[in-house]
Structure 1
Amino acid sequence: MSTNIVELNNITKSFGDFRALTNINLNVRQGEILTLLGPSGCGKSTLMRIVAGFEKATSGDVIISGQDVGKAPPEKRPVNMVFQRYALFPHLDVFDNVAFGLRLKGLPKARISEEVTRMLELVQLQDFASRWIGEISGGQAQRVALARALVNKPSVLLLDEPLAALDLKIRHHMLEELKRIHTETGTTFIYVTHDQDEAMILSDRVVLINKGEIEQIGTPDEMYSAPKTLFCAKFFGDTNLLDGHVQSADSISAVVNLPVGATKVATGNLHEGAPVHVSIRPEAIRIASANGEAADANQAIGTIEDVVFIGSRVVYKVRHQSGTLLKCQEHHDAAGIRFSVGSPVSLSWDPASVVVLAN
């Protein structure tokens, strides 16, 4: 069982009359990659800065490696932080940027050389040690920032939107690099991003934050497949969100009336007549040529309004006779794009793929 290296207890942060964080309770496990995810202004970076010591919580406790560090300055905490803008020294070369913190500690020259060389090999920049910061790419600069932070052997590495300034291709490469570096070092990572794709690719667990409060915590698969709230379903990937009410229910399942017809759901303990939101992911909807009217629950008839080809995927936008637009997605294979705009189609889905959401 993993031990908790960071414990945040009832963290609240106010800036004047504005409440940025409200009663945050969160444990970070030793050696994991935990991502703080949410829209701009939700409080995720403020929470990281409180862990780092750059902000002080209005109330609550910050425990790192069993020690209360709430009043300790950043340099007295066993953490290091990598910023979006890297914060590298342009007047120093790559080697000296990485060595900076070790020299402040007064380590012997030979030890510094050994540690910096080892770290540059870890981030695969051993051939760039004498380059000036202005002579390397954005992705390489980010790796220098990682090396500079990791060379001090922090208990926790904090990464605040570290890839936001990079283009898409380099960002995906750096995500792979971060996973490799994490595996090789075993350092605990706390990662901040507003990009759900980054969170899905990188994280062991995700903390979704909304308006200064934790909305949901879980693995990427749990957050995508089993969102507990409407906000979480909207934030994680594309989905079909429909409003309806419960027609009938028992302890293990229910029938929900939706604009596209009745749908069975594998959710128990709903109340007859209660309003509900449901989420059905596009890839959970099967599409076929229409053959008459929809006769059963979890079926709908519609007309294709748009076809979007995205490499390995085809997304069909289907207009139901009620006016509701549904998206469905299938793998693009040798059969090609099977349906065109204007085609009548039948849609169907399994009860287990329908997620009933809280408001």
Structure 2
Amino acid sequence: MNLPIVQLEKLQKSFGPFNALNDIDLGIRKGEILTLLGPSGCGKTTLMRIIAGFEAPTSGRLLISGKDATDLPPERRSVNMVFQRYALFPHLDVFDNVAFGLRLQKLAKEEVRRKVEAMLGLVQLEQYASRWITELSGGQCQRVALARALVNRPDVLLLDEPLAALDLKIRHHMLRELKRIHEETGTTFVYVTHDQDEAMILSDRVVLLNKGEIEQVGSPQDLYAAPTSLFCARFFGETNIFEGLVNSVSGETAVISTPHFAAKGPSRGARQGDTVSLSIRPEAMKISPALGGDDAVNAYNRIDGNVEEAVFIGNRIVYRVRSNGTLLSCQETRPVTGVQHVPGSPVRLAWPSEAVVVLTQ
């Protein structure tokens, strides 16, 4: 059995009366990309700073490579950190920025040169070795920061919202570069972000934090398709939420009534009489002209309304549909002929039972 490279046990952190982290139990696997995700103030940066050694936990224990590192200073941990603001030295060129940590170790000049050149090759900046930091773009600065952090071959690389200052196109390019660099180095990455798209693109696993506690841990697919709480369903991707009452449960299927429609879906532990929330993703909803009348055969998982907005976004159309005072979102992917349902059109939204996620908390 492989032990986690980082183990957090009953970790707590308080700032006066404020509890930033509460009872964090988490194992970070060797070689994975683990993302700490959540809204501002949820504790993700505090947790990263504790792993780095910049903050001490109020209680609990931190192990790195199986050894207690709770009280170790940052320089004695095999951990490096990449900051949002790069923290590069403007008076040094690219080569000297990357070489800085190696020279502190008093390595031989030739060894420093060899390691720096190899790292600049990894981040594809060989031709920029003699450039000043002020002559680089934001994406290039971020690559220099990565090279400087990785050149010492840490066991764990911490990345604190490193792409937040970049525009969307460069950010997506850098996410692909991070995955490539991770694959080539095998270093464990712990990545902090509040951006769900970054988490989905980059992560092997996501830790969703809420008010200093772990809400859910799993793959991006797990958190998107099988959220375990209303908070997770709402935070991780867009969704439609309905409140309902479980009328009956037969095997693994529940029948739920809401003020606007009846639904069937996997019960997920819900019992008859329970009040639950239903999460239905926009892309699961199929839109068609309203049929009129009643179809008793397909009486479940459908709702009628009127289109309020239709937005064409190239590979999909996002419809906003108003039904009984509730605004719903529906996505039609790979549209062939553009917008089919203009604002004001009466439409029917329908979805399969497996798209219904029943949330009991």
TM-score w.r.t. structure 1 length? 0.97
Per-residue CA deviation, residues 241-293 of structure 1 (Å, 9 max, x unaligned), is: 11111112233111111132110112154222221111000000111122223
For 1:207 and 1:245, how far apart are their aligned partners in 2?
Answer: 30
* Aligned equivalents of 1:260, 1:94: Cα separation in 2: 61
Counterpart of 2:310 (choices 304, 307, 312) is: 307
Pair 1:319-2:322 in alignment: yes
SS in 1 for 2:5: strand
Q: Secondary structure at the match of 2:251?
A: coil
Q: Contact 2:33 / 2:190 at 8 angstroms: preserved in 1?
A: yes
Return the offset for 1:2: 5.1
Aligned partner of 1:11 in structure 2 is: 11
CA deviations on 1:128-182 (whole Å, 9 max, x unpaired) are: 0000111111110000000000000000000011111111111111101100100
- Contact 1:294/1:300 (8 A) holds in 2: no
Which residue of the partner structure matches residue 165 of structure 2? 165
Q: Distance between the aligned counterparts of 1:300 and 1:92, measured in 2?
A: 63
Output the CA distance in 2 between the equivalents of 1:259 and 1:314: 27
Query: How far apart are 1:343 and its partner, in Å?
Result: 1.2
Per the alignment, residue 177 of structure 1 pairs with 177
Unaligned runs of 5+ in 1: none
Deviates more, 1:286-295 or 1:53-62: 286-295
Q: Given residue 317 of structure 1, which amino acid in structure 2 is its aligned partner? A: R
Of residues 285-294 and 187-196 in structure 1, the stretch that sits farther from structure 2 once superposed is: 285-294
Residue 61 of structure 1: aligned partner: 61
Quote the residue 2:201 is aligned against: 201
User: What pairs with 1:209-248 in structure 2 (closer than 5 Å)?
Assistant: 209-248=209-248
Match of 2:187 in 1: 187
C-alpha distance after superposition, 1:202-246 (max 9, x if no partner): 000000000000000000001001101010011011100111111
Inter-partner Cα distance in structure 2 for 1:232 and 1:155 = 30
- Does the 8 A contact of 1:93 with 1:133 survive in 2? yes
**CA–CA distance in structure 2, aligned partners of residues 85 and 104 of structure 1:** 22
Q: Percent identity?
A: 63
- TM-superposed deviation, 1:294: 4.5
Paired residue for 1:79? 79
Identify the residue that residue 250 of structure 1 maps to in structure 2.
250
Match of residue 336 from structure 1: 338
Counterpart position of 1:91: 91
Shift of 1:6: 0.6
Q: CA deviation at 1:3?
A: 3.9
| Amino acid in structure 1 at the alignment position of 2:48 | M
Consecutive aligned runs of 4 or more in structure 1 exceeding 6 Å deviation: none
Q: What is the rounded CA distance, in whole Å, between the counterparts of 1:327 and 1:294 in structure 2?
A: 23
**Aligned equivalent of 1:348, options 336, 339, 350:** 350
Q: Which runs of no fewer than 5 residues in structure 2 stay unpaired?
A: none
Provide the secondary structure at the position in 2 that maps to 1:75: helix
1:319 and 1:103 map into 2 onto residues whose CA distance is: 64
Corresponding residue for residue 45 of structure 2: 45
Q: Give the structure 1 partner of residue 104 of structure 2.
A: 104
Does the CA-based 8 Å contact 1:317-1:328 persist in structure 2? yes
**How far apart in 2 are the matches of 1:159 and 1:78?**
14
Aligned to 1:21: 21
Aligned residue type for 2:284: A
Amino acid at match of 1:309: F
2-structure distance, mates of 1:60, 1:268: 33
> Does the CA contact (< 8 Å) of 2:268 and 2:358 recur in 1?
no
* Alpha-carbon distance in structure 2 between the residues aligned to 1:294 and 1:222: 36
Superposed CA RMSD: 1.1
Q: Is the 8 A contact 1:250 1:268 kept in 2?
A: no
Tell me, in whole angstroms, the C-alpha distance in 2 between the residues paired with 1:345 and 1:273: 31
Give, as a single letter, the amino acid of the residue that structure 2 aligns with 1:350: P
Which runs of structure 2 are paired with 1:264-275 in the superposition (5 Å)?
A: 264-275=264-275
> Relative to structure 1, is the Cα distance of residues 294 and 41 closer, same or farther in structure 2, using a 3 angstrom cutoff?
farther
Task: For 2:89 and 2:360, locate their aligned partners in 1 and report how far apart those are by CA, in whole Å.
Answer: 48
Which whole-Å CA distance do the structure 2 matches of 1:197 and 1:97 have between them? 31
The separation in 1 between residues aligned to 2:15 and 2:270, in whole angstroms, is: 41
Aligned residues: 358
Deviation of 1:328 after TM superposition, in Å, equals: 1.0
What is the rounded CA distance, in whole Å, between the counterparts of 1:2 and 1:264 in structure 2? 41
- Structure 2 Cα separation of the partners of residues 193 and 268 of structure 1: 30
Q: Distance in 2 between matches of 1:216 and 1:276?
A: 19
- Secondary structure, in 3 states, of the residue corresponding to 1:4? coil
